[in-house]
Amino acid sequence: MSLKYLLLRQNRTSFVTVCSAEAMYWRRLTETDLKAKLGYWGNPGGGGAHARIYLPGDPEDIAEFFNHNEWDGGPDGTIRVQLAPVQQYEETKAEIEIDYNNGRNEWQLPGNSTDYPLWETEHGFIPSADELFDDEHENMTADHVPILYFVRDSQGRFHTRMVYNNSPERLDPFNIAFDQRAGDSASGIVKFK
């Protein structure tokens, strides 16, 4: 199946990317991820993911998805992903770093890579903290949490978005079986034929 048109409606704006997609890495964000992204982690002085988002899954599969063939499985891996620009938004022609965390055996988006414009509340790609959490920003109250995804197209370019309108009814037309387990770090790689 070839995904020719990827149409995402966020608030009142439509974004259409016309490409032939080869593969997609997706990750359902957790409460911890969202607190890290929005600055509402529970213990800023302690350890944990207060400035990063982990990308769970087989590290070798993820490196392969991002065409990072030179990684040998060692503890010091960094993937540099050049993102295809979107004309409507400045600063979308950007490079994102993805670092390998040897202790967790996972790739991660470090703090300097979590502020990509098409992942921001101000552009309507994720809800505000007030829409996701209770009044104290301690407990998540949203029914559906955002999905972060990367698409690799047939020309080897990478595209990325966060999508928060991801109820089963919303995702059904895409014919993609996203894992519906809310609250965990569900992720996967979908390969298109």
Give the pLDDT score at 50: 57
Distances (CA, A) of 97 to 27, 58, 125, 134, 150: 17, 18, 20, 32, 13
Q: Which of 100, 68, 96 is nearest to 82 (CA)?
A: 96
CA separation for the pair 152, 138 (Å, rounded): 35
CA separation for the pair 116, 74 (Å, rounded): 27
Average pLDDT, 10 consecutive residues per value, the chain (193 residues)? 38 47 88 78 52 87 92 85 87 90 88 81 77 82 82 92 76 61 69 80
Give the pLDDT score at 176: 58
CA separation for the pair 143, 133 (Å, rounded): 11
Prediction pTM value: 0.80
Give the pLDDT score at 34: 81
Give the pLDDT score at 144: 74
Give the pLDDT score at 64: 94
